[in-house]
Structure 1
């Protein structure tokens, strides 16, 4: 009976420590990159010993790879939810809203992903050319079909998706620049203003 009580507790503690390590690693990697980060820095940020980190992960590369894999899956979930059964404009504008919300709430994740891509995506290359490409091609085909049906103006659906990525993720990856240019007053509503502007521009471009 005692063993049955202890095991779930240990499992919960292990989950909590792994999550603490991921959170700390996200801070360190998004600021310093993989090369500049050390296990000591991650351990310090997590409030754990280096031995604790090594117990759960076989080095910083293992932490980094698992972070990226989970990030990519979360990052593409709004696109995965774009439905062929919905109203075209509503589906695309909802996608913009979700991407902007992710940029607002997940700037560290966005910067980590951008850094990996800028370095040639050595740990994500296969996932990009297989899983991500398959998903983007599928959703581009949905958008293209809406255009054939006359429900959206005819433009390149792949570049439409790329443009939404670029416009929304800019506010995560270059937030310091955005705030510096807008100033303190306008910066308070930068995400709301940006979302409204992007949606307005897309509606004008996509109206049939």
Structure 2
């Protein structure tokens, strides 16, 4: 029994090592530019050993994406329909900038896949993500109709949040080069909070 449990632990550990290495490789090169050999080398495993766990590059990528999608959608899911509108949207912005800081590889992998036409994510984009965005835009529209938010285009609001927060991860080399010794994440949260507070606060 102990031997079986030990084997399971080793398998779990190796799968985790493979997926972490794959995330590194895929986030740098995209799906098309990555190879099983690169992933095996990054994982410190032989190619046959890696293929024992995941028989194809596609199966590795799908496993990485499965973990990524929940991480990606959770910040928007957390927006409370019954909360204070400006606070809820600013909290969403804060969660997204934290994701760029803490999960830059995941952000870059997502960007690579979208740029390539999302062939392995299109179904999720057109169902799970679209349903979630539809739900939240209705909430934002309700808040606007109640006079709690300045009237703006709700979908473009969400797109702008994605653009302004994910930029820090997807273009990290450029951002850090231009910021010099200053950590971009020191001032980014306060800047974005001010920006969206001014945009969202009802006028008149």
Aligning the two structures, in what range does the TM-score lie when normalised by the shorter sequence? over 0.9
Alpha-carbon distance in 2 for matches of 1:157, 1:120:
24
- Using the TM superposition, name which of 83-92 and 7-16 deviates more: 7-16
Q: CA deviation at 1:207?
A: 0.5
Tell whether 2:196 aligns with 1:196: no
What's the counterpart of residue 105 of structure 1? 102
Alpha-carbon distance in 2 for matches of 1:10, 1:97:
41
What's the counterpart of residue 131 of structure 2? 134
1:165-197: CA deviations, max 9, x gaps? 00000000001111122222x2x2x11311111
List alignment gaps of at least 5 residues for structure 2. none
- Using the TM superposition, name which of 42-51 and 111-120 deviates more: 42-51
Provide TM-score, normalisation by structure 2.
0.95
Contact in 2 for aligned 1:24/1:46 (Cα 8 Å): yes
List alignment gaps of at least 5 residues for structure 1. none
> Which of 55, 59, 77 is matched with 2:56 structurally?
59
Contact in 2 for aligned 1:43/1:50 (Cα 8 Å): yes
Q: Which structure's residues are more often helix, by fraction?
A: 1
- Using the TM superposition, name which of 95-104 and 192-201 deviates more: 192-201
Q: CA deviation at 1:36?
A: 2.1
- RMSD of Structure 2 on Structure 1 (CA): 1.1
| Larger RCO of the pair (alpha carbons < 8 Å, separation 6+) | 2
Q: How many residues align?
A: 202
Tell whether 2:19 aligns with 1:25: no
